[in-house]
């Protein structure tokens, strides 16, 4: 399938289990979860992601082959949190608003290298531009770092989006 044969849509409650499964697989791929913990992680992730989606604390996007919107092959999302007032990098402005932490960016192995992670990230950034989010950060895996740097994120103690959000 070419890049154009995939659609991206907002995640819904019906997608929560798959979003949680991707979270477990992401940690597995990075070598950050003991296999004996994966079932527990999945169980609690489903509960927490569902509650966070319902409250608006988590907003997700999923990619799927065109015409098969329920067949999720990639996804990602943001966790929103109130940002305590702080100086913007460079110290010339006080930031007041929310911070979005990008997380759960995951593409199933057989669908990698088709631009899906970038499409998910483009959706997230476009959505952020319409909100009161003033700071966008993520933690990058070694595999994801080149994409994020290419999109304008810069290394700090965390990855931070370097372009103006507002």
Judged on CB neighbours under 10 Å (0-12, 13-18, 19+), 87 is: exposed
User: Of the ranges 51-55, 106-110, 119-123, 159-163, which one carries the lowest mean pLDDT score?
Assistant: 159-163
Q: What percent of the chain has pLDDT over 70?
A: 95
Q: How long, in residues, is the chain?
A: 166
Cα-based distances in Å from 36 to 40, 49, 96, 109, 147: 8, 21, 42, 22, 31
pLDDT tens across 115-129, in order?
999 999 999 999 999
Average pLDDT over residues 64-83: 95
CA nearest to 148, candidates 101, 80, 84: 101
Cβ–Cβ under 8 Å, residues 20 and 38: no
User: Of the ranges 7-21, 41-55, 101-115, 152-166, which one carries the lowest mean pLDDT score?
Assistant: 152-166
State residue 91's pLDDT score.
87
112 dihedral zone (left: phi>0; alpha: psi -120 to 50; beta): beta
CA nearest to 165, candidates 115, 122, 112, 126: 126
pTM of the model: 0.87
Q: What percent of the chain has pLDDT over 90?
A: 82
DSSP H helices in the chain? 16-29, 38-55, 116-128, 145-150
Q: Locate 134 and state its tokens.
A: 């003033």
Which CATH number applies to 3-161: 1.10.3720.10, 1.10.8.640, 3.40.50.1470, 3.40.630.30? Answer: 3.40.630.30
Question: How sure is the predictor about 52, in pLDDT bands with cuts at 50, 70 and 90?
Answer: very high
Question: How sure is the predictor about 1, in pLDDT bands with cuts at 50, 70 and 90?
Answer: very low
Cβ–Cβ under 8 Å, residues 49 and 19: yes
Average pLDDT over residues 127-156: 92
CA nearest to 59, candidates 141, 123, 148, 132: 123
Give residues with Cβ within 8 angstroms of 39, minimum separation 6. none
Average pLDDT over residues 94-123: 95
- Assess whether pLDDT exceeds 80 at residue 69: yes
State residue 160's pLDDT score.
62
- Assess whether pLDDT exceeds 70 at residue 153: yes
CA nearest to 165, candidates 132, 123, 121: 132
Average pLDDT over residues 53-58: 98
């Amino acid at each position: 399938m070419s890049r154009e044969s995939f659609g991206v849509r907002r995640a819904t409650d019906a997608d929560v289990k798959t979003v949680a499964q991707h979270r477990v697989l992401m940690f597995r791929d990075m070598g950050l979860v003991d296999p004996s913990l994966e079932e527990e992680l999945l169980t609690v992730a489903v509960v927490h992601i569902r509650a966070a989606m319902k409250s608006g604390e988590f907003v997700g996007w999923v990619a799927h082959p065109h015409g098969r919107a329920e067949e999720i092959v990639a996804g990602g999302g943001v966790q929103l949190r109130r940002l305590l007032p702080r100086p913007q990098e460079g110290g010339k402005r006080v930031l007041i608003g929310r911070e979005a932490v990008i997380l759960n960016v995951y593409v199933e192995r057989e669908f990698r290298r088709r631009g899906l992670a970038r499409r998910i990230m483009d959706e997230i950034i476009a959505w952020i531009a319409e909100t009161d989010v003033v700071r966008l950060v993520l933690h990058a895996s070694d595999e994801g770092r080149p994409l994020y740097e290419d999109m304008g994120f810069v290394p700090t103690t965390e990855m931070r989006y370097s372009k103006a959000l507002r």
